[in-house]
Structures are given as structure tokens and as C-alpha cells.
Structure 1
Amino acid sequence: MLIMKYTITGATGHLGKEIVTAMTKLVPMKEITLGVHTLSKALNFQTQGMTVKEIDYDNPATLAPVIANSDVLIYVPSKSHDSFSRVTEFENVVKAAEANSVQHMLVMGFIADQEDNPFALSAFYGYVPRRLAASSLHYTVMRNALYADPLVPYLPELIKRQNVIYPVGDQALSFISLHDSANAFAHVATDSSLLEDGRIYTLTQSEAYTMPALAEVISKVTGAKIGYQPVSLQEFSDLYNENNEGPMLASMYAAGAKGLLDEVSLDYEIIMGKPAQSLPSFLQTKY
């Protein structure tokens, strides 16, 4: 029986953890290697039989022992607020993958990757497919829509405000849940017919939502009357500047206001054979 090596970076993050869980349903745990920043956060994975190794993106020498000879390297970037940091990290990963016989990279992307996109991380997401195309690697990119999950803990605040306040004007936003995204990652990683070299998949639900439509969905889910009263980009940045994330988040909604975050794709259905869970269904399940 052929034994594969699937390596997942960022395995203790929000998406990484979901991908690990999805992968364990499709392949033996002994075939999974996890690259993590803090070993103590991954002890539960280790006890399940997965190989867990520490990596430091700033020290490329730590990458080789983790990713060497991977049949599929699933790359989920570490959390940072600027493109330069992520590009530097990605460069180290690509070079290590080329030098250590990685057969295929499956890389997380984001729909905010257009040339005229003001999102602070847009340069990184635009760089990813171009850099991979210039490498010697086989690769596939998974472009996520906005994650639906952060809406759930945000609902009590929206009920209190009685309004959705995202500063995107009359434009729409497209979503995907972490669970659905992770399942798509796992299925592509383990199915050679889906793991096409150079393929870029876009993972979204079947519908994008204007803010009045989003407010209507939230009203139906919570039973509270929710409208739409946007704040300015600066106000949004000031309101949600925990860990200095405010300017980065505001820049993302500046992209939304330009109509750059409303993409809808059938790729999830191509991968999974069914549509992604709708936003109303997701919120109803989680609320």
C-alpha cells in the first residue's frame, strides 16, 4: 500500500485546525505531518498519531526537516498584518519546497488579490500564484471568500447596534465557512483528479450579499430588527483596532466598497459535489 506524506503548516490556526480534522477523515493519521510555531498547542494532534514538528519561517533551516519529501504540502500562512512579512515567509517556504523534493503545494489564497485592491494583504495574495508559476513546483491555489465564522460572535454586537456597519456602501460581500473551506482543501489534497497543476479554485457560497440583504439574514436568524448604517473606514478602523488590526480590516472593507469582494464561484460544488452551506443556514446552525 502506498504511504503518502501530507504536510500542513499553520495547523493550530483557525483554518489549519479545520483542515487537519478534515484530512483525518480521508487519510491515515500517520501520513499527516504538522508544522507549527508552538508545539504545546498541537499536543492533541500528536497524541492522535500525527507527526508534529516546530517551524520558524524566519529560520529557513527549520523548514527542511518538516516539509522534505512531502507528497502534498498544504500551506496556510501565519497571521501577520502586512504583505511584506507574508511574502518573506512565502519565499522561504517556496525555496525550501523546491530544495526538498516537495511534489505538490496546495496554497491558501484569498479573493482580494486584484491589482487595484486596497486591502493591506492584497499584494501578498496577488504574489502567491505569480510566484508559484515562476517556481519549479507543481501547485494548486485555493482562493477563499471572506470567512463567515467571525459573524457569529459579532451577532450580539450587531443586535445591540441594531445595524450592520460594514463600510462597503451598495456593494456585496461573498462568504465561505472555515469548515467548508477545510473540507475542500482536504478533498483536493487527496484526489489526484482535483489536484491539478496550476489550477486555481475559488471557494464561495452560492450567493454574495449586499449589506441590506445581510442585515435581513441576520434579522431572520436572531429575531432582532437589524438595518444597515455604515460607519466610515476610519471609524471602523478605530472601533476594531485590537492588536493593531484596525487599519488592515478597514482596508479590506475599502476593497469591498470597490466591489472587489463579491465574487461567486461554482468551484466548491465542483470539488465537493454539492453547494457550500448557505450563509443563513450557517448562521442559524451556529447562533
Structure 2
Amino acid sequence: MTKYVVTGATGHLGQRVVQELAQRTPATNITLGVHTPAKAQAFANQGMTIQKLDYQDVASVQAALQDADVVIYIPSKSHDSFSRVTELEHVLTAAQAAHVGHFLAMGFIADQADNPFDLSAFYGYLPRRLAETGLSYTILRNALYADPLVPYLPELIERQNVIYPMGDASLSFISLADSAAAFAQVAVTPRLWQQSVYTLTQERSYTMPALAAVLSQISGAKIGYAPVTLQQFSDLYNQGNEGHMLASMYAGGAQGLLATVTDDYHQIMGRSAQSLPDFLKASLATASTTK
């Protein structure tokens, strides 16, 4: 019996990873490390073990990872690299003490040394730190999630423009569903562990005019491209004090650092990731039927 431990299991990606993992191994093989166990009750009802985990409490991390064969580490939503590096150190300390068989970590394409993204230091630190641990590990670097485009679309229709401060550069996307499927597939497939880093993307990236054209086609509304400044973007979307972090991500994007496209997803899954137009069509159709 292989014991899988998923941290951050009640977040947007974590929940989907758990659902995908449960299609590949019995629920009784899965332990979820979560900050608020009550949020994982539905998974507990399926037979999964729920373990309280606080990334800042080394003892709770060690308890959650005890006897783990495979750990899927999904970071917290903290907005600064220092906090995330601190939690990572706690998780790695626990993983080494538990002699974890394989460590699977969520990365992000904005990890370049010259990337101004607020969290690039963490994502750049992740592979270097894992490389020196002696652990068997795999990092899955996500492209930008396509999912936020769906609730964002009404605002873009009202503005009649995509406003990302990206200049002529491109953005690469992946859906949460496709990312989660890849995480689960790698977790249960030891032959895929031979490659230490995969980058999960769709088959193409999009300049902002190309993205606007896709959104226009899907919505039936005319959407163009009229970028705001980085400061304006930060001010517009500063809910939860996330404005600077989001703006810094697009600052990196404007340098061409979010445009990566690979065939790694096909290598893992044996098929291509869902295209952005197909994802948007399916998501909007689902949204209309659930109203």
C-alpha cells in the first residue's frame, strides 16, 4: 500500500488534485494535511485520513508527513517569498525526517533569476533547495491558470478591452483541472519521476491581441487590447493587498517571462492540455447551465 500525503488539500488546486488522485488510488491510501480539518469533511467521508497541518508549526508538518511514500506539496497563498521559503524549510525538514519516498512540488513559470514577480525568489529557490536535499523529487511548474478568465470576462466585456500591462509579450495558460490531473498522474507513476522538472502548459501562448480575439469569439462581444500601467493595475486589483503581487507578475510577463510553452503535459498524460478556447467554451457552458 502506497501512502500519499497532499498538503494544501482544501485550496483551489489541492481539492482537484485530491479528486484526481482518488481516481487512481483507493481513498484509504490518501492523507490530507489541512489547516482547517472541517473543510475536508467531504474527503473524510470518502475514507481519507485528515491531519491538521500548520506550515509554521514543524511538529504538525512532521505528524502529517509521517510514513508518507509520496508527498504532494502545494504551497500556501502567502504573498511574499520569505514566508513561503520558511514554510518550505519546515516541510523539507519533515520530509527528510520521514524518509519520504518521493516529493512532488508545485512550481510556477515565473521563477527566473531576473523576474520581478514578488514570488519569483521562492519559485527559484524551490528547485535549488530540493536538489541539495537528497530527496527524490519532481517539480511541476504551472503556467498561468486559465480559470480566473471566466469570472473576469464580464468585466472585460464592460471595459471592451483586455487591460493586462503586457506590451507585445505573450502569456501561457493551463487549467486547474489539467494541472491537477498531471499532479495525480505523476504521483502514481514512478517512471515519470526520472525527470525532475515538468512545465505544464497548453500548446500555445497568447499575445494580448490574440487573447482579446479569443475572448471576443467566445463571448460574442467586441474586446480589444488597451493596457493600463503597472501602477494602475496594482491599484485596480488590490483586494486582499494582492495588487502589487499581481502587477509584479505582469511586469515579468511583459519581459517575455510568462510565455513558456512545452509538450510536457502530453508527455505525462498522453494527450494535449485542453486549449484555451475549448476550456473557455466548456466553462461558460457549465456556468450557464448552473445558474
Q: Give your verdict on TM over 0.5.
A: yes
Residue equivalent to 1:133: 131
Is residue 46 of structure 1 aligned with residue 47 of structure 2? no
Please state how far the C-alpha of 1:112 moved relative to its aligned partner. Answer: 0.3
- Map of 1:267 onto structure 2: 264
Distance in 1 between residues matched to 2:139 and 2:240, nearest whole Å: 29
> For structure 1, which runs of at least 5 residues remain unmatched after alignment?
none
Contact 1:167 1:254 in 2 (8 A): yes
Give the deviation of 1:69 after TM superposition: 1.6
Q: Which runs of 5+ in 2 are unaligned?
A: 285-291
- Runs of 4+ with deviation above 2 angstroms: none
Q: Is the 8 A contact 1:112 1:125 kept in 2?
A: yes
- Report the equivalent of 1:89: 87
- Report the equivalent of 2:166: 168
Letter in 2 for 1:64: Q
CA offset at residue 101 of structure 1?
Answer: 1.6
Q: 2:118, 2:156 → 1: CA distance? A: 25
Structure 1, residues 156-179: CA drift from partner, whole Å, max 9, x if none?
000000000000100000000000
2:287 matched residue in structure 1: none
Q: Structure 2 CA distance, aligned partners of 1:95 and 1:40? A: 26
* Distance of 1:250 and 1:104 partners within structure 2: 35
1:6: which partner in 2? Answer: 4
Q: CA deviation at 1:285?
A: 0.6
Alignment of structure 1 residues 111-150 onto 2, 5 Å: 111-150=109-148
Residue 189 of structure 1 is matched in structure 2 by 187
Match of 1:29 in 2: 27
| 1:200 corresponding residue in structure 2 | 197
Deviation at 1:216, TM superposition (A): 0.1
Is 1:56 matched up with 2:65? Answer: no
Secondary structure in 2 matching 1:195: helix
Relative to the length of structure 1, the TM-score reads: 0.98
Q: Note if 1:281 corresponds to 2:278.
A: yes
Separation in 1, partners of 2:235, 2:280: 26
Paired residues in the alignment total 284
| Corresponding position of 1:209 | 206
Superposed CA deviations along residues 119-158 of structure 1, whole A, max 9, x for unmatched, are 0000000000000001121101000000000000000000
Contact 1:69 1:103 in 2 (8 A): no
Q: Aligned letter for 2:253? A: G
Structure 2 residue 131 is matched with structure 1 residue 102: no
State percent identity of aligned pairs.
Answer: 63
Question: Secondary structure of the residue that 1:221 maps to in structure 2?
Answer: helix
Displacement of 1:103 in angstroms is 1.0
State the Cα RMSD in Å: 0.6
